[in-house]
Structure 1
Amino acid sequence: MSHLLIFGLGYTAKRIKAAMEARGWRVDGTGSAGNLDFDDDFERVRATIDYSTHILSSVPPERVTGGDDVLMTYGATIQAASDAGKWIGYLSSTGVYGDQQGAWVDESTPTVAETGAGRRNARAEADAKWMELGARVFRLPGIYGPGRSALDRVKQGKARRIDLPGQVFSRVHVDDISSGVVAALTQNSPPGAYNLGDDLPASGNDVTEHAFALLGLEPPKLETLEEANLSEMARGFYAENRRVANGKAKRVLGWKPQYPTYVEGLANLLCP
């Protein structure tokens, strides 16, 4: 039986777990929703790595130190698994490309870790380390889905419109991430980076305004970044501007997003 070990059963990884179990795979995981404790079950986790056929990490770098806890704790065992030909995967971020002033990026675009451009990017550094292990690295833009979308922000009174002309982002529905990773798992895809984003990079304002329209509400006024008084993390998000190409995932994995734009994605979330 194929056996997948997932480090970090969070929002996205839970969906991957469910999809693989529906295919008859055994799936173990760490985290509050998993059956393994990352910190307390060291020997059990290491043994699970040994007898798993596939290993996927969805654990981001630690916020304070920037280190990858999975690689720092289990790196040698994962390296041995990779050397033995086991499938290795990592959920990364398109933030590794840094600010591209609205230009398109694909998997051949140098990452911040490679160019040294801009502020230190722990995601880019972790991404590079997993690539060295021969992993399938899934670079993800803004993730949305049930409970985490522009519709929810509107309902919670948290939706904003920021006055940044020309600012665009890519995004992806959580179920499209799952289908892309499932395709890579079941086809034994070649190692390397895969961008999993939808077909229509768009401004945050476009998405917010569409969400208000779907709910029959008037959108809020435009605010400057200063007026919005955003958190440091949110301001960092608005400091980067890029469009993410997804052609490689379509060609190599045969992946086709079920929600090719935010229009289809929000319609599904409005009337699931």
Structure 2
Amino acid sequence: MSETREMRLVALGFGYSARAFVRQARPASVVGTTRSIEKADDLHRRGVRSIVCEAGQGSETLSEALRNATHVLVSAGPDADGDPFLHEFERDLAHAQDLEWIGYLSTIGVYGDHRGAEVDERSACLPMADRGVWRLEAEAAWQALGRRIDVPVGIFRLAGIYGPGRNQFISLETGRAKRIIKPGQVFNRIHVEDIAQTLVAAVGRPAHRVYNVADNEPAPPEDVVAYAASLMGVEPPPAVAFDEASLTPMQRSFYGEVKRVSNARIISELGVRLLYPTYREGLSALWESGRWRESI
């Protein structure tokens, strides 16, 4: 892919999905924020100009980068006080003369529990956990900013992310994998490279729009663990009933929500064709590459 010469990207929270997006989009310049010197050094090695900045703290360097940006990708999470970057740098974004697009990485957790029914972008958002409420509020705040400054804001509601360096093979190898059985429970997932290609497609068709970014097959989590174990040639962990499983409060809350997420909009409107339509293609490709331990 040729370099996107017109794209001057600022990534507020330069994490896993942002790295994959940059690899595919190849912007002319990239500024990424991080909270640690160690991560800043890693970004520098990747050719990313890094700014060590805690969300919610001022930074003249970041203010200048935002004023010069053509594209902004936001992946830092909000808290009870809202989106920290938006609070701190809203004025800079409003004065970004060349700004063409803002992408906000959210979560399908904003839908809450739909008792196994299919949800699309028009479905009611009924978040059960505080973090889902905060995400929904942050979505609305970024959308409101986009309308005020006349810049398209894409909201991307991501399913469970996996890919190189973040997958069930690693969980199995480290003994962290669990095969928890809760009848009727399914989750959608999404490979990080499919997140990246969706973002690239959205940049090409900027719009004030919400998109679900999920795979084609919501599946029981125990099936995914078993499939990964079969590829590795190891025994899967023993099945454990949900009521007997040792889970953190956050892990348990995920099991309190059941929904089947439709990805029809990214297919019909953005022309996305998933590289990994289900967990089977994604895990098989990771295993066959032999690079499943390596992060992107």
Do the structures match in fold with TM over 0.5? yes
Structure 1 position 231, deviation (Å): 0.9
1:6 and 2:11 correspond: yes
Partner SS state of residue 225, structure 2: helix
Structure 1 position 18, deviation (Å): 2.2
Distance in 2 (CA, whole Å) between partners of 1:48 and 1:103 is: 43
- On the 8 A contact 1:3/1:25 being kept in 2, the answer is yes
Distance in 2 (CA, whole Å) between partners of 1:96 and 1:261 is: 22
Query: Which whole-Å deviations, capped at 9, do the CAs of 1:208-266 have from their partners, x for residues lacking one?
Result: 11111111222222212343211111111111111111111111111111000000000
1:30 and 2:33 correspond: yes
Structure 1 residues 147, 85: closer, same or farther in 2, change over 3 A? Answer: closer
Q: Which runs of 4+ in 1 moved over 6 A?
A: none
Q: 2:141 maps to what in 1?
A: 129
1:97-246 maps to which residues of 2 (within 5 A)?
Answer: 97-112=111-126, 118-120=128-130, 121-134=133-146, 135-185=153-203, 187-246=204-263
In structure 1, which of residues 59, 62, 76 is the aligned counterpart of residue 91 of structure 2?
A: 76
Partner SS state of residue 30, structure 1: strand
* Count of matched residue pairs: 262
Distance in 2 (CA, whole Å) between partners of 1:129 and 1:220 is: 43
Structure 1 position 84, deviation (Å): 7.2
Distance in 1 (CA, whole Å) between partners of 2:257 and 2:65 is: 39
Partner SS state of residue 36, structure 1: strand
Taking structure 1 as the reference length, what is the TM-score of the superposition? Answer: 0.90
Partner SS state of residue 49, structure 1: helix
Structure 1 position 47, deviation (Å): 1.3
Structure number with higher strand proportion: 2
Taking structure 2 as the reference length, what is the TM-score of the superposition? Answer: 0.83
Is there any run of 5+ residues in structure 1 with no aligned partner, and where? none
Amino acid aligned to 2:31: D
- On the 8 A contact 1:189/1:252 being kept in 2, the answer is no
Is there any run of 5+ residues in structure 2 with no aligned partner, and where? 1-5, 44-48, 147-152, 290-296
- On the 8 A contact 2:154/2:211 being kept in 1, the answer is yes
Q: 1:87 maps to what in 2?
A: 101
Structure 1 position 51, deviation (Å): 1.1
Stretch of structure 1 that moved more, 220-229 or 190-199: 220-229
- On the 8 A contact 1:87/1:188 being kept in 2, the answer is no
1:50 and 2:62 correspond: no
Distance in 2 (CA, whole Å) between partners of 1:17 and 1:41 is: 25
